[in-house]
Amino acid sequence: MSTEKESNYGADQIQILEGLEAVRKRPGMYIGTTSIRGLHHLVYEIVDNAVDEALGGYCNEIKVTINKGNTITVLDNGRGIPVGINQKAGKSALEVVFTVLHAGGKFGGGGYKVSGGLHGVGASVVNALSTWLEVSVYNEGKVYYQRYNVGKPEEDVKIVGECDPSTHGTKITFLPDPSIFEEVVFEYDTLKTRLRETAFLTKNLRIVLRDEREEEIVEDIFHFEGGIKEFVTYQNRSKEVLYPEIIYCEGTRNGVYVEVAMQHNDSYNETTLGFVNNIITPEGGTHVSGFKNAITKTINDYARANKLLKENEENLSGEDIREGLTTIISVKIEDPQFEGQTKQKLGNSEARVAVDSIVSEQLTYFLEQNPSVAKTICEKSIMSQRAREAARKARDLSRRKTALEGMGLPGKLADCSDKNPENCEIFIVEGDSAGGSAKEARSRATQAILPLRGKILNVEKARLDKIFGNAEIKAMITAFGTGIHDDFDISKLRYNKIIIMTDADVDGAHIATLMLTFLYRFMPELIKTGHVYLAQPPLYKLEKNKKVWYAYSDEELSSILTEVGRDGNNKIQRYKGLGEMDAEQLWETTMDPAKRILRKVMIDDESESEVDLTFTTLMGDKVEPRREFIENNAKYVTNLDI
């Protein structure tokens, strides 16, 4: 042992290693999860640091490359992370950034902002969770370099070459540690969605995403001069808009920079996306409530002042006004406070005040300048108010009916006998005939069957009053027991699993999508809490020498054929629908909990804006985006003909 080395190894170093070790011991504490989502978080953490440089006005391009071997390179053209000696740490500021946990505060002559990220982690966390990481800084004609193995520097920062003196920036390459992450293969589309969003939120920033893993290199360039106005246009791209203008408000109040863009489309759904320092806030918060307060007040004031709303008429509710409205709210704030269980809700009260006052002021002005848009918005809101009133009456009526009829379960429901929801499941079955087989096949104690007739109502295209009047939808709502919307109560759910069982063909896929659309719009919690499943009936039955095989895909069929031998003695049967199976077959292949295959339906919180779009794209009116979506997703949704 060398005593000399040991004395060099100061308390600071030990602390640093302990810090990074803590990150490796509990990665979830720093990046939320070690699933594929956590893997992608590493990229966002690094990119967000470069975006901070862009927000400061020092950088206008960020290139992200997925390299062969699933390493990631992020390159910006900013000032370059400072390389000078940091007095306090006694080493290069660059090394401090990568080795000290939560490197925040000021050093190296400038403030190093900790990213506004959900978990407030930085480059050192990414470093700690990478097998290796390399950083190069280009500044004043020199290239500085350092490499780390599992967070530890190989050598001091050194100059490794020269560059054009006009070149400046930071380049990071890293390999996520496969002993930490469940998955180490990056998904191009996941990065693409998030980086597109980042580009929308940062006007004048160009983000280039490249995938160099395959022979054929893929590249996307995101650069939006219009910023969040273009984000609204993008969100509305598969819908018909009610007016061509994007309403835009911008300003700074009490240190909060506020940007809001909005536009109505002809759908009945509200899309309100809030961002704080470029980070999405799935649970909203003060910035979103400030906006809602402002638009409700401003539209009502305008409608009253212009006699669009008469004295004896009730005020428009916020929901009425936001029906079909797409809004992006982006605030930039020095010290964001996140609240709630998942820390995804902004808590700063100054953000509420800032958004409320800026939107109230500028929206009032916009309405005065654009009376025809103002009239369209008011009329649309009044229509919504009337429909909501009609829906309320319909709902009250059905509630009263339910009370009179006692249990009030739908007539078509063949309920199970076990009354403990934990043990129970309900099959929603397409068509009366398949429903009949399913009733015969089921295990009575725990499996309930609800047959639905034909294609169910497309809730994307219908107003509330019509939706609540629909028999199939009423049947589902009463069978589940949870109520919907504000009345929704998951503790009242009567079944642990809701299983959608449709034919394994194009029509079946369409019906399943319609049902999922309904569940997503009216009871999203059911999906989020993992109660919704798709049954998977077989596509083929193969018989030979009195033995039977079922195949659930074409691949499976050919592998069975290889095994069994392909000859004239097997008669292969292609199932065209559930109805072709007898009860026993249906039980064996699709319903028996011991043998069946179920697919769980899930939503990723962060991609919620995309889920929304998927449903609108598949279920909305515009043909072109739908075709595009289906083409792009053809491998998942084979030939979904709508």
Cβ closest to ligand TSJ, residue 78 vs residue 336: 78
Told to judge if 220 belongs to the known catalytic residues of this protein, a careful annotator would answer no
Site string for ligand TSJ, 240-269 (x = CB under 6 A): ------------------------------
Q: Which of 112, 248, 366, 427 binds ligand TSJ (CB under 6 A)?
A: 112
Least distance to ligand TSJ from the beta carbon of 305, Å?
49
Q: Which of 66, 74, 209, 498 binds ligand TSJ (CB under 6 A)?
A: 74
Kindly give the pairing relationship between strand 85-86 and strand 72-76.
unpaired
- Given a contact cutoff of 8 angstroms between Cβ atoms, the answer to whether 100 and 215 are in contact is no
- Using CB under 6 A, which of the segments 108-116, 289-297, 352-360, 405-413 binds ligand TSJ? 108-116
CA distance readout (Å), 143 to 94, 137, 210, 217, 354 = 13, 6, 24, 28, 43
Least distance to ligand TSJ from the beta carbon of 208, Å?
13
Residues 123-182 within binding reach of ligand TSJ (CB under 6 A): 123, 170, 172
Residue of 301, 505, 543, 621 marked catalytic: 505
Task: Report if residue 116 touches ligand TSJ, rule: CB under 6 A.
Answer: no
Least distance to ligand TSJ from the beta carbon of 107, Å?
9
Residue of 356, 503, 588, 612 marked catalytic: 503
Of 446, 438, 448, 440, the C-alpha closest to 415 is 448
Task: Report if residue 277 touches ligand TSJ, rule: CB under 6 A.
Answer: no
Contacts of 323 (CB under 8 A, 6+ apart): 268, 269, 270, 380, 381, 384
Of 590, 500, 501, 504, the C-alpha closest to 554 is 504
Residue of 53, 211, 430, 588 marked catalytic: 430
Least distance to ligand TSJ from the beta carbon of 52, Å?
7
Cβ closest to ligand TSJ, residue 277 vs residue 617: 277
Cβ closest to ligand TSJ, residue 53 vs residue 323: 53
- CA–CA distance, 330 with 313 (Å, rounded to integer): 34
Q: Which token pair is 48? A: 């967000």
Q: Which residues pair with 307 in a beta bridge?
A: none
Site string for ligand TSJ, 20-59 (x = CB under 6 A): --------------------------x--xx--x------
- Given a contact cutoff of 8 angstroms between Cβ atoms, the answer to whether 98 and 16 are in contact is no
Least distance to ligand TSJ from the beta carbon of 608, Å?
26
Q: Binding-site residue total for ligand TSJ (CB under 6 A)?
A: 17
Least distance to ligand TSJ from the beta carbon of 58, Å?
7
CB atoms within 10 A of CB 331: 30
CA distance readout (Å), 132 to 50, 82, 176, 415 = 20, 21, 8, 57
Task: Report if residue 109 touches ligand TSJ, rule: CB under 6 A.
Answer: yes
Handedness of CA 419, 424, 428, 429 (dihedral sign): negative
- CA–CA distance, 282 with 191 (Å, rounded to integer): 18
Q: What is the DSSP string of 30-92?
A: HHS-SSHHHHHHHHHHHHHHHHHHHHTTS--EEEEEE-TTS-EEEEE-SS----SEETTTTEE
- CA–CA distance, 187 with 195 (Å, rounded to integer): 12
Task: Report if residue 110 touches ligand TSJ, rule: CB under 6 A.
Answer: yes
Task: Report if residue 522 touches ligand TSJ, rule: CB under 6 A.
Answer: no
Q: Which of 81, 276, 329, 560 binds ligand TSJ (CB under 6 A)?
A: 81
Structural element, H or E, at residue 542: strand 540-544
Q: Which token pair is 452? A: 């639905």
Cβ closest to ligand TSJ, residue 79 vs residue 192: 79
Cβ closest to ligand TSJ, residue 109 vs residue 565: 109
Q: Which of 24, 37, 79, 463 binds ligand TSJ (CB under 6 A)?
A: 79
Buried b (16+ CB within 10 A) or exposed e, 47-56: bbbbbbbbbe
Handedness of CA 81, 53, 190, 188 (dihedral sign): negative
Handedness of CA 160, 162, 168, 174 (dihedral sign): negative
Least distance to ligand TSJ from the beta carbon of 92, Å?
12
Least distance to ligand TSJ from the beta carbon of 97, Å?
5
CA distance readout (Å), 470 to 399, 404, 462, 477, 510 = 15, 20, 10, 11, 18
- Using CB under 6 A, which of the segments 78-86, 367-375, 473-481, 570-578 binds ligand TSJ? 78-86
First to last CA, the chain: 74
Task: Report if residue 78 touches ligand TSJ, rule: CB under 6 A.
Answer: yes
- In this structure, the dihedral spanned by the alpha carbons of residues 195, 197, 198 and 199, taken in order and rounded to 10 degrees, is 90
Residue of 266, 361, 389, 507 marked catalytic: 507
Residue nearest to ligand TSJ (CB): 110
Cβ closest to ligand TSJ, residue 53 vs residue 460: 53
Least distance to ligand TSJ from the beta carbon of 278, Å?
14
Task: Report if residue 207 touches ligand TSJ, rule: CB under 6 A.
Answer: no
Least distance to ligand TSJ from the beta carbon of 220, Å?
18
Q: Which token pair is 482? A: 């949870």
Contacts of 218 (CB under 8 A, 6+ apart): 188, 210, 211
Kindly give the pairing relationship between strand 106-107 and strand 325-332.
unpaired
Q: Mind spelling out the 3-state secondary structure of 298-350?
A: HHHHHHHHCCCCCCCCCCCCHHHHHCCEEEEEEEECCCCCEECCCCCEECCHH
Told to judge if 489 belongs to the known catalytic residues of this protein, a careful annotator would answer no
Told to judge if 430 belongs to the known catalytic residues of this protein, a careful annotator would answer yes
- Given a contact cutoff of 8 angstroms between Cβ atoms, the answer to whether 640 and 618 are in contact is yes
Cβ closest to ligand TSJ, residue 118 vs residue 557: 118
Cβ closest to ligand TSJ, residue 204 vs residue 254: 204
- Using CB under 6 A, which of the segments 76-84, 140-148, 378-386, 625-633 binds ligand TSJ? 76-84
Q: Which of 31, 41, 63, 76 binds ligand TSJ (CB under 6 A)?
A: 76
Residue 209, sorted as left (phi over 0), alpha (psi -120 to 50) or beta, turns out to be beta
Least distance to ligand TSJ from the beta carbon of 256, Å?
22
Cβ closest to ligand TSJ, residue 110 vs residue 454: 110
Cβ closest to ligand TSJ, residue 72 vs residue 591: 72
- Using CB under 6 A, which of the segments 22-30, 71-79, 200-208, 455-463 binds ligand TSJ? 71-79
Site string for ligand TSJ, 473-492 (x = CB under 6 A): --------------------
Of 386, 408, 398, the C-alpha closest to 469 is 398
Least distance to ligand TSJ from the beta carbon of 11, Å?
25
Active site residues: 430, 503, 505, 507
Residues forming contacts to ligand TSJ in the complex (CB under 6 A) are 46, 49-50, 53, 74, 76, 78-79, 81-82, 97, 109-110, 112, 123, 170, 172
